[in-house]
Amino acid sequence: MKKFSSIIFLIVLGLGLQACSFRSTQLDLLMRALDDSSDEIPAEDLAWTLLWSGDTYTLYPVFSNDGTVANFVNTEGTIVIAFDSEFWQVLAVQGLLPDEQNIQISQNGSSWEFVDENGTVSTHRCEEFDSVLQAGNRIWTQDCTEASGADYMNEKRVNPDNEIVLMRFMVHPDYPMITLTPDRLTF
């Protein structure tokens, strides 16, 4: 009977230790992609394409501690798109705009303020995001008006598997909108 109790104790102990381990599937995915010794998930599978002003850039997601995407960066770390994954909103852009101009975007009610190193660039009025279902995809749009009175629309598209397939945002009133699309849907 004592041998049987010892075996049960070891099984329970093993299961208990296993339950205490930390596991993040998105972190595991990213670590495997960056680990040169593993060819299970190439880094290209995590890549997103940034289209801006006729140029194409490859960016990679950077995950926060809770496993959500916090930023998109290029391999050199010179372009950073800060991203609020809770509201799917671009909050800052570094290294993309001419003259090394960085931009912060903040919301105060329906007003969106675009700020660079010299202060406020522009304040825009934006409605809440609204969505429609089109061919199985959920399309979220946000109608906005620049200080000059010109209208534009921020957009997010989500496929039937609830994966983001496109994000298009105004990041500076004097430049074209950015478009982010995943190269492959892996997570």
Q: Are 89 and 73 in contact (CB under 8 A)?
A: no
Q: Which of 24-28, 45-49, 87-91, 121-125 has the lowest mean pLDDT?
A: 24-28
Beta-carbon contacts of 37 under 8 Å, excluding residues fewer than 6 positions away, are: none
Q: How many CB atoms lie within 10 A of CB 96?
A: 23
Domain count, the chain: 1
Report pLDDT digits (tens) over 67-91: 777 899 999 989 899 988 777 789 9
Tell me, what's the pLDDT at 163?
87
Residue 17 lies in a domain: no
Report pLDDT digits (tens) over 89-102: 899 999 999 887 89
Q: Are 72 and 81 in contact (CB under 8 A)?
A: yes
Residue 27 lies in a domain: no
Tell me, what's the pLDDT at 1?
47
Assign 3-class secondary structure to 27-59: HHHHHHHHCCCCCCCCHHHHCEEEEECCEEEEE
Residue 106 lies in a domain: yes
d(CA 84, CA 69): 8
Containing structural domain, residue 77: 42-182
Tell me, what's the pLDDT at 115?
95
d(CA 87, CA 128): 11
d(CA 55, CA 51): 6
Tell me, what's the pLDDT at 26?
38
Residue 16 lies in a domain: no
Residue 15 lies in a domain: no
Angle at 174 between CA 125 and CA 118, to 5 degrees: 85
